C-alpha cells in the first residue's frame, strides 16, 4: 500500500507511520484531522478473515483524539465506523483518493466540527460498550 499511497499524499500533509511507539503515535494523533487504516486492504479471499483487522481499537484511539477515521471497508474498523456514525470507508485506492480530496476541500472550522463530533461519538460508543459488557459479566456470574 505504501508505494501506491505515495501518489495519494502528493500535495497533502500526510505522514506514514510504521511501528510507532505510543508516545510518537499519540503526538501525531493529537495534531491530526484524519486517521487512515488500510488493514486488510487487498484481501480478496473471504475465507481468510484473519487478514482483516478484527476489532478496530486503533480506530477508537484515533477517534478519541479527534481524528476523522478513514478505513478499509471490510472487518472490524468498518463496523466501528458504522457504529460511530462518523468516518469514511473505502474499497479501492480511487475511493480513498476521493475521500482525501473531499476532506481536504473542507475549511478548518468544518474539520474542527467533524473532529468534535467524532470525539463525542467515540466516547458514547465506548460508554455503551462498557455498559453492555457490565451486564454480560454480571449475568455470567449470577
Question: Tell me: the pLDDT tens digits for 88-103?
Answer: 999 999 999 999 999 9
What gap in Å lies between CA 39 and CA 32, rounded to an integer?
19
Quote the pLDDT of residue 3.
Answer: 37
**Model confidence at 11: pLDDT above 70:** no
Query: Which grid coordinates are listed for 66?
Result: 479527534
User: What pLDDT band is residue 18 in, cutting at 50, 70 and 90?
Assistant: confident
**Model confidence at 12: pLDDT above 80:** no
State the residue for C-alpha cell 484481501: 43
- Angle at CA of residue 91, ends 26 and 48, nearest 5°: 85
Reported pTM = 0.80
Could you give the 3-state DSSP secondary structure of residue 90? strand
Render pLDDT for 107-123 as a digit per residue (tens, 0 to 9). Answer: 999 999 999 999 999 99
Render pLDDT for 40-83 as a digit per residue (tens, 0 to 9). Answer: 887 766 667 777 777 778 899 999 999 999 999 988 889 999 98
Query: Who has greater pLDDT, 78 or 137?
Result: 78
User: Quick one: which of 64, 111, 92 has its CA closest to 4?
Assistant: 92
Query: Who has greater pLDDT, 45 or 130?
Result: 130
Contact status, residue 108 vs residue 49, Cβ threshold 8 Å? no
What gap in Å lies between CA 60 and CA 69, rounded to an integer?
9
Amino acid at each position: 500500500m505504501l508505494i501506491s499511497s505515495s501518489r495519494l499524499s502528493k500535495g497533502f500533509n500526510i505522514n506514514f507511520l510504521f511501528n510507532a511507539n505510543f508516545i510518537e503515535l499519540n503526538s501525531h494523533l493529537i495534531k491530526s484531522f484524519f486517521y487512515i487504516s488500510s488493514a486488510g486492504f487487498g484481501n480478496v479471499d473471504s475465507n481468510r478473515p484473519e487478514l482483516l483487522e478484527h476489532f478496530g481499537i486503533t480506530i477508537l484511539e484515533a477517534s478519541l483524539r479527534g481524528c476523522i477515521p478513514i478505513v478499509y471497508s471490510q472487518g472490524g474498523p468498518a463496523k466501528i465506523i458504522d457504529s460511530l456514525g462518523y468516518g469514511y470507508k473505502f474499497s479501492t485506492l480511487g475511493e480513498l483518493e476521493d475521500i482525501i480530496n473531499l476532506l481536504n476541500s473542507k475549511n478548518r472550522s468544518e474539520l474542527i466540527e467533524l473532529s468534535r463530533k467524532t470525539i463525542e461519538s467515540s466516547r458514547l460508543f465506548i460508554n455503551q460498550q462498557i455498559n453492555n459488557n457490565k451486564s454480560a459479566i454480571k449475568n455470567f456470574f449470577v
